[in-house]
Chain A
Amino acid sequence: MSIATRTAREVTAGAIDTGKSRERNPASIAFLIGLWFSLFFGVMVLVVLIIDTIVSGSPRFDAALLFDYGSRVRPEETGFRAGILGSAWLMLMTALMAVPLGIAAAIYFEEFANGNRWYNRLLEVNLQNLAAVPSIVYGLLAVAVMALLGFERKGIVLGGAIALALLILPVIIITTREALRAVPQEIREGSYALGATTWQTTWRQTLPSAVPGIATGTILGLSRAIGEAAPLLLLGLAVNPRFDPEGVLSYITALPIQIYRLSSESRAEFQEAASAGIIVLLVMILGLNALAIFIRNKFQRSW
């Protein structure tokens, strides 16, 4: 989807021949201001959102928020322990399911498949479609999968992880393909010239070169999954568990689900807790994104 490298080159070329000198008339200036506005409007909203949430959640920045279970009796002390642990378990299981599968599929598409065959084109279109299927539909699918596997209780780690893995699989496949595509063809050709097979080339040359890109894409996919609530709603996660998850068959809740339930409550203490929970969630996502950026900057190569 992103043609980042090509655009970068074109923009560089474009900087040489701009019509800057003829841009003093009011219409052009107004147009430029409009563009600046549209560029920064979203960021302004984001700033307002974060400040508003921090202000309304600030009374609840305490240890109980992170280390206590949810409480309906004492709403001023309700915590997100169950949600944080549940989300952590979900992330782990989602990654275990989606990442190997996604990378394997991407390798097939990029390194083995003949893109001109009709069935490979069909796979391609199908993949693009899956990436845009509403997340709540994956929840319906996960419900059906759990029923097929014979589980009575669906709101367990396994159920949630299946839903989220299905959801981010297309994202992981697409980003991994981008990373593989960014590896220069010369490296592959060098390997072939020395007599390596396609798989040897992939395993020893292409894949190691693409690891930073794959890691970045995977982490970004997971950061999308951690904030996702819609598919989990359908599985009927536990409303307010007062125990830690112990395994893949353990009943759980997730951080975004807890936030959703608290937002629908009318009592002010619950609203405060929801705001504070949002900050916790945003910090977790920010942490994942920072990790992705770190990996990208540390291991980025330029060929």
Chain B
Amino acid sequence: MAANSGSSAGPSLQGAGLLGGALNLRGRPRPGEAIIKVALVVSAMVSVIITVGIIAALIEPVFEFFAEVPFGDFFAAEGQYAVLPLVTATLMVTFIALLVAVPLGLGAAMYLSEYASPGARKVLKPTVELLAGVPSVVYGFFALTFVTPTLLQEILGVEVGFTNALAAGLVLGIMIIPTVASLSEDALSAVPQALRQGSLAMGANRMQTTLRVVMPAALSGIAAAVVLGLSRAIGETMIVALAAGAQKNLSIDPRDGMQTMTGFIAQTAGGENPVGSVSYNNLFAVGLLLFVITLIINMISIYFVRRYRQVY
């Protein structure tokens, strides 16, 4: 695709040279197309403007915030502006979510890539992806009104609070299954058929082939899938805002209610915070931290994707 734009002009120039100017194949100048091209470039640049905009939008209030609140009060375990309890709660919920999503997502990916017939795949893959189409506020409501009271308290008899990290993490895990499954499946399917054939020829069955040949070969792609799922889980808001809790809590007990970073932003935004106040700027400080964390994680994911694309 990329080569076309360059080469389309190339041959006509050569042709003109050969015919010694008798035929001008250069084509007439097309100012309209130049304008269109500029418009397309500008549209593509919008994505960069958005990135710069995010950083600019976040940084200014954050500077104001740190002008009034010392660094130590922000990266503290306790206090009005402490962010560490939010970070630990985010990690806790995300960890539970990954415990659910990684095995299930990988299992689904293995089935789709290694076992399913093309016809079955066509039906099953959209079925798995259906989970990603459900709005997160719906998952949050489900965690709050079904998973906590019915599943955890009544059926399993776990002593959890009204809001707790466990229910939020479990439901969040369900939500990111399609993310993990979809990318892992791409990675597994990209493994060359020759590797499978070699393994089968040596007498291995499909399970052994999948686990010992295909999965190791696709490992960096699977890693990318897990890392992307991780980033989704960290950034998800509505589930944790409804089901994880609204109190900062430096607890490592998943049965406790605890507020995550996104939950904090959602709750603070819902309250009365005049623009420019310290609590308003605090919102942006947490937002910037969240953005930086997910940015780093996304870069790791992109790195892994590059690696598996390069091997084959």
Q: Which A residues form the contact surface with B (CB < 8 A)?
A: 1-3, 6-8, 10-15, 17-20, 22-23, 25, 27-28, 31-32, 34-39, 41-43, 45-46, 48-49, 52-53, 56, 101-102, 104-105, 107-116, 123, 125-130, 132-141, 143-145, 147, 166, 169-170, 173, 181, 185, 188, 192, 195, 197-199, 223-224, 226-230, 233-234, 236, 256, 259-260, 263-264, 271, 274-275, 278, 281-282, 285, 289
Contacts and interface: CB of A to CB of B under 8 A. Distances in A.
Contact of B46 (A2, A6, A101): A101
B298 A108 contact: no
Contacts of B33: 197, 199
A27 B177 CA distance: 25
A289 B232 CA distance: 22
Contacts of B99: none
Contact of B30 (A126, A197, A230): A197
B13 interface: no
B3 to A, nearest CB: 8
A185 to B, nearest CB: 8
Say what secondary structure dominates the interface of chain A.
helix
Q: Most chain-A Cβ atoms within 10 A of its Cβ — which of B50, B174, B290, B299?
A: B50
Nearest to A170: B47
Given A137-B287, A199-B36, 5 more contacts: A12-B118, A53-B142, A116-B2, A230-B238, A230-B262
B254 to A, nearest CB: 19
B115 A128 contact: no
B118 A17 contact: no
B133 interface: yes
A140 B57 contact: yes
24 contacts: A3-B186, A8-B121, A12-B118, A18-B200, A42-B177, A42-B178, A53-B142, A114-B3, A114-B6, A125-B299, A132-B301, A135-B235, A141-B57, A144-B57, A173-B47, A198-B5, A199-B37, A230-B237, A260-B238, A260-B241, A263-B144, A264-B242, A281-B138, A282-B138
Contacts of B134: 46, 49, 227, 282, 285
Interface stretch (B16-24, B69-77, B79-87, B263-271): B263-271
B138 A236 contact: no
A228 B283 CA distance: 20
B216 interface: no
A111 B284 contact: no
B158 interface: no
Nearest to A34: B107
B262 A136 contact: yes
Contact of B104 (A41, A114, A116, A147): A41
Contact of B117 (A15, A31, A38): A15
A230 B190 CA distance: 35
A285 B130 CA distance: 11
B133 A223 contact: yes
Contact of B136 (A19, A23, A53, A227): A227
B4 A198 contact: yes
Contacts of A169: 46-47, 50
A8 B47 contact: no
Interface in B126-184: 127-128, 130-131, 133-142, 144-146, 150, 174, 177-178, 182-183
A144 B56 contact: yes
A7 B112 CA distance: 10
Contacts of A56: 145
Contacts of A134: 234-237, 262, 290-291, 294
A266 B183 CA distance: 40
Contact of A104 (B39, B128, B232): B39
Contact of B287 (A15, A32, A104, A140): A140
Given A41-B104, A229-B136, A14 B186 contact: no
B137 A289 contact: no
Q: Closest 6 A-B residue pairs measured CB to CB? A: A134-B235, A227-B135, A38-B107, A144-B57, A104-B43, A230-B237
Contacts of A138: 54
A281 B140 CA distance: 14
A127 B302 CA distance: 11
B252 interface: no
